[in-house]
Amino acid sequence: MEGVEPYPGDPWATREFNVKWKRWSYIHCSWDTRETLSQLGGYKRLVNYMKRTDEQQARRRHPLPSHTLSILLGLLDGRTSPLI
């Protein structure tokens, strides 16, 4: 169907992805939608990319407070003892 999103409410449904095809040169790269790529064997790679990108955007929107970050960094360096 034209104009109907296959995944309602999903921002990834309308985006296009620049795909470099295996064993083809870069001049054969193409822009494809999620719907088209979901029918191919490497679709899991696209799903992992979307999850990773969503997590990164969520971290940018809601960063840890600076004091929490300094405590976590101190725990990693061994300067602070964990609360037990």
Position 22 scores a pLDDT of 92
Phi, psi angle pair for 32, to nearest 5°: -130, 155
Position 59 scores a pLDDT of 80
> pTM for the whole thing?
0.61
Position 70 scores a pLDDT of 65
- The full DSSP string for 23-37 is TS-GGG-EEEEHHHH
Give the DSSP letter of residue 19: E
Residue indicated by tokens 């054969």 = 28
Indicate the domain borders of the chain. Answer: 11-77
Q: What confidence tier does 23 reach under pLDDT thresholds 50, 70, 90? A: very high
Work out the widest C-alpha separation in the chain, in whole angstroms. Answer: 60
The CATH architecture annotation of domain 11-77 reads Beta Barrel (2.40)
